[in-house]
Chains A and B, each alone.
Chain A
C-alpha cells in the first residue's frame, strides 16, 4: 500500500516570495508517480505537476517545481514568486499499482 504524508496543515508566505510544501511517501511499488494538485476555494481539483519514479530530473511547470529526493522519499512542491491567487489547499499524491492516493493537504495563504 502507498502512504502519502503532508505534515504542514497550514503555511503562510509573503507575496513574491518562494515557498516549499512538504510531502513524504512510502510505497513498495518500484514504479510509481508523484504529483501535486491545487484546490482553490471553488473546490475544483487543478493538476500542477507530476514526477515519475524513474525520471532523472526534477519536474518543472512554470512557477512550480517538484523537489524529488528518492533516498529521503520526499516530493516537495516549490512555488516561486508566490501570487495572491496561489492561496488554496494543496494536495500531494501518488500513483502505485493503479491506485491514486492523496495526503492530508496543506492550506497555503499568500499575504500581500
Chain B
C-alpha cells in the first residue's frame, strides 16, 4: 500500500544514547517533514526537506539532525538523547509542498528517553 512508513513505532532510549528514525514514502513526493507532538504544544516542525539532498530547519531543530540522501527516505537523528526529547514523532510528505496536492502522514513513533 502506498503511503508513509515510519520505523520504529516505539523506542525507549537512555539519556545520551543516539538513534535514527526512518521515514520512507513510495509516492515520489518531493517534500518531507519531521514533527514532534507534545501535549498542549500541537505538532511542531523539526526539520523539512524540499527535495533529495536538501534539508532545512523548522521551529524546533536543536538536538536533531536530518538527511535526505534518497528521495524516498528522510532520516531524523538524535545524537545524544535527552529526556526533553520524549515525544511522539510524525513524518509527513507532499508532492509539491502545496496542500492542493495533499499531505500524507505516517503513523508516528513514540519515543521515550529515560
Contacts and interface: CB of A to CB of B under 8 A. Distances in A.
A101 B98 CA distance: 12
A41 to B, nearest CB: 13
A98 B98 CA distance: 7
Give the interface size class of chain B: 20 to 34
Interface string B17-45: 00000000000000101010000111111
Chain A interface size, under 10 / 10 to 19 / 20 to 34 / 35 or more: 20 to 34
Given A98-B48, A100-B33, 20 more contacts: A33-B98, A33-B99, A35-B99, A43-B107, A44-B105, A44-B107, A45-B90, A47-B102, A50-B99, A99-B45, A99-B58, A100-B45, A100-B48, A100-B92, A100-B94, A100-B97, A101-B59, A102-B42, A102-B45, A103-B42
Interface of A: 6, 9, 33, 35, 43-45, 47, 50, 52, 91, 93, 95, 98-105
